[in-house]
Amino acid sequence: MGKTLFEKIWESHIVVEKQNNPSLIYIDRHLVHEVTSPQAFEGLRMNNRKVRRPDLTIATMDHNVPTTDRSLPMLDEISSVQIKTLEKNCKDFGIKLFGINSPNQGIVHVIGPQLGITLPGSTIVCGDSHTSTHGAFGALALGIGTSDVEHVLASQTMWLEKPKPFEIRVEGKRKNSHAVTAKDIVLSIIKNIGTGGGTGTVIEYRGEGITDLSMEQRMTICNMSIEAGARAGLIAPDEKTFDYLRDREYTPKNYESLVDSWKDHLKTDSDAQFEKEFTLHIDEIAPQVSWGTNPGMTCNVSDSIPSPDEFSKGDSNQKRGAEKALEYMDLKPGTLIEDIKIDRVFIGSCTNARLEDLIEASKVIKGQKISPNVQAMVVPGSQMVKKQAEDMGLDKIFIDANFEWREAGCSMCLGMNPDILSPGERCASTSNRNFEGRQGTGGRTHLVSPVMAAAAAIHGHFVDVRKMDLN
Ligand SMILES: CC(C)[C@H](C(=O)O)[C@@H](O)C(=O)O
Ligand code: SF4
């Protein structure tokens, strides 16, 4: 029987295989950030251990960094300690760090691919759930906890229970690709399979609706695999993948021979079996807006807020969850999504703060002003994205429209730095999580695509971007 792409990568990385028990897997790249690494380094110190492969370990700081002027002293005490600790740990253990003033600094999942550190067929881990992003390159990319971070630092291996392969197909050609984006595809998938739909699996995204996407759009899809409960998400590499990684700063010297070896091997065999399957047709997908407190609580922009009965389809836990979510979000069933007014707009995060995202959002913004009731900001995913955007004049478009234009980092994706919502504020956000308090205590998050966020900033409420001329 043939093998899935996931099984091929898995098998080529086994160090010790155990049936019905975790196997020991070799790790090709270990990405490190300031939040989940301090205890891991402390553990190494206590046991008098070194980092086994500092050359395969790369660090950056993203969660705690301020996104305002970095020449000023950092006011947030906790953030400042996290950042200094990572600097010291990288120095002590000989690890390459893209620090706060590096031109390569940025959200770890944005810089990995941009620098050519993320490679097809490799195993990549990071103490961060959205490591799944790197799966867009046909890598097995896993988020891990702090104790595993320590294990990987010490041994370059990790014990892992073998996940099951899950095929998600998106069929058909997009007719309205400026309005129906990768974010809408992945939110639609999660809406359909649920936030637990991918539990225990590695999702492989397939079909024309996926292969048609650019690399940056594929990253948006894989990024949110974790919000469907999956261990990872991946997409088989193709010419777009190989072209994207060619000539990046850390692309290996023998790249062309690597590409030759990847071409035939890194794909699912035609007779391979998946444990689970789900198919969606691209024509069924509209721009999405989340209305609740998990990414599965999402509907079409042209719809109204569902009643808890309608949403839960008879499941009493789901019904209670929806009631609680609506209360937290201060929303009533039957309210049209387009009638929901917003206070803030956040264009950022490892889901949607790459160059293409900013280009698409800027097309909506160009020559307009944001609503006087809205405060809006753009936080590029990396300093490199920021510079590329500035070279194209995108910063000017956003600033002229009254957006704030910030330095790179996780920013308001989660409240671990000064960028937070005030209690009760409602935000159209291009990030990936809408949990209670995620963007600040009492803050209300609606997950949307960059074009939907940009349009909401202009109008002060959600609008259906399919009605706009976005070309
Ligand atoms: C802080 C970090 C551990 C966390 C994660 O694992 O994803 C964060 O990045 C998030 O998005 O919630
Ligand atoms: S941008 Fe958000 S989701 Fe991505 S790593 Fe940072 S906090 Fe996590």
Considering the domain boundaries, does residue 281 fall inside one?
A: no
- C-alpha 131 – ligand 1 centre gap (Å): 9
On whether both 205 and 340 belong to a single domain, the answer is no
Whether 148 lines ligand 1, by a CB cut-off of 6 Å, is no
Report whether residue 110 contacts ligand 2, using a CB cutoff of 6 Å: no
Specify if 195 maps to a domain.
Answer: yes
- The three-class DSSP label of residue 57 is strand
3-state secondary structure 23-54: EEEECCEEEECCCCCHHHHHHHHHCCCCCCCH
184 within domain boundaries? yes
Range(s) of the domain holding residue 180:
5-276
Mean pLDDT, the chain, as a whole number? 97
Domain contains 183? yes
Site to substitute for ligand 2 among 132, 347, 378, 410, most atoms within 8 A of C-beta: 410
What pTM value is reported for the model? 0.98
Question: Are both 440 and 376 inside the same structural domain?
Answer: yes
The dihedral of CA 338, 339, 345, 348: what is its sign? negative
Would you say the CB of residue 431 lies under 6 angstroms from ligand 2?
Answer: yes
| 243, 276, 309 - which closes a domain | 276
- Ligand 1 atom with minimal separation from the 432 CA: 11
* Ligand 2, atom 6, residue with closest C-alpha: 410
Report how far residue 169's alpha carbon sits from residue 154's, in angstroms, rounded to the nearest whole number.
Answer: 38
**Ligand 1 close to Cβ of residue 34 (< 6 A):** no
Q: Among 140, 157, 40, 147, which residue's Cα sits nearest to residue 89? A: 40
- Going from the C-alpha of 63 to that of each of 67, 228, 289, the distances in angstroms are 10, 22, 25
The protein residue whose alpha carbon is closest to atom 2 in ligand 1 is: 128
Task: Identify whether residues 131 and 176 lie together within a single domain.
Answer: yes
Question: Ligand 1, residues 35, 126, 225: which to mutate, most atoms within 8 A of Cβ?
Answer: 35
Which atom of ligand 1 is least distant from the CA of 128?
Answer: 6
Best mutation site among 33, 63, 125 for ligand 1 pocket (most ligand atoms within 8 Å of CB): 63
Single-letter amino acid code for the residue at 335: T
Q: What is the pLDDT of residue 469?
A: 78
CA of 107 to the centre of ligand 2 (A): 7
Task: Indicate which ligand has the atom closest to the C-alpha of 107.
Answer: 2
State which H helix or E strand residue 344 sits in: strand 344-347
Residues 319 and 262 in one domain: no
Hey, which of 35, 130, 433 would you mutate to test ligand 2's pocket, going by the most ligand atoms within 8 Å of its Cβ?
Answer: 130
pLDDT in tens, the chain (471 residues): 899 999 999 999 999 998 889 999 999 999 999 999 999 999 999 999 999 999 999 999 999 999 999 989 888 899 999 999 999 999 999 999 999 999 999 999 999 999 999 999 999 999 999 999 999 999 999 999 999 999 999 999 999 999 999 999 999 999 988 999 999 999 999 999 999 999 999 999 999 999 999 999 999 999 999 999 999 999 999 999 999 999 999 999 999 999 999 998 999 999 999 999 999 999 999 999 999 999 999 999 999 999 999 999 999 999 999 999 999 999 999 999 999 999 999 999 999 999 999 999 999 999 999 999 999 999 999 999 999 999 999 999 999 999 999 999 999 999 889 999 999 999 999 999 999 999 999 999 999 999 999 999 999 999 999 998 776
Are the C-beta atoms of 128 and 232 separated by less than 8 Å? no
How many whole angstroms from 57 Cα to the centroid of ligand 2? 19
97, two tokens = 């760090």
Q: Ligand 1, residue 410: give the atom nearest the CA.
A: 9
* pLDDT at residue number 75: 86
> How many domains would you assign to the chain?
2
- On whether both 215 and 298 belong to a single domain, the answer is no
Tell whether 298 and 247 lie within a shared domain: no
Out of 252, 276, 300, a domain closes at 276
Q: Calculate how far, in angstroms, residue 33's C-alpha sits from the geometric centre of ligand 2.
A: 11
With a 6 Å cutoff on the Cβ, whether 432 touches ligand 2 is yes
Asked if residue 282 belongs to a domain, the reply is no
In a domain, 60, yes or no: yes
Strand pairing partners for 378?
347, 405
Q: Is there a single domain that holds both residue 451 and residue 393?
A: yes
- Tell whether 261 and 293 lie within a shared domain: no
**Whether residue 208 sits in one domain with residue 310:** no
Examine the fold and report which residue of 213, 244, 276 is the final residue of a domain before the chain moves on: 276
- Return the closest-CA partner of residue 434 out of 422, 418, 447: 447
- Give the model confidence (pLDDT) of 165-186 as tens digits: 999 999 999 998 899 999 999 9
**Ligand number nearest to the C-alpha of 125:** 1
- What separation in angstroms does the CA of 248 have from each of 112, 261, 329, 340, 376? 10, 19, 43, 43, 32
Q: Is residue 84 part of a domain?
A: yes
State the CATH number of the domain containing residue 260: 3.30.499.10
Examine the predicted complex and report whether its ipTM is higher than 0.95: yes
Q: What's the Cα-to-Cα distance from 37 to each of 24, 86, 88, 99, 141, rounded to whole Å?
A: 21, 8, 12, 15, 18
At 471 the pLDDT is 61
Q: Please indicate, yes or no, whether residues 407 and 443 belong to a single structural domain of this protein.
A: yes
Ligand 1 centre from 129 Cα, in Å?
6
Q: Residue of the nearest CA to atom 7 in ligand 1?
A: 129
Q: 302 with 232, same domain?
A: no
Q: Residue of the nearest CA to atom 6 in ligand 1?
A: 128
Is position 27 within any domain?
Answer: yes
The number of the ligand 2 atom at minimal distance from the alpha carbon of 129 is 8
Are 122 and 194 contained in the same domain? yes
- Any atom of ligand 1 within 6 Å of the Cβ of 36: yes
459 touches 341 (CB < 8 A):
no
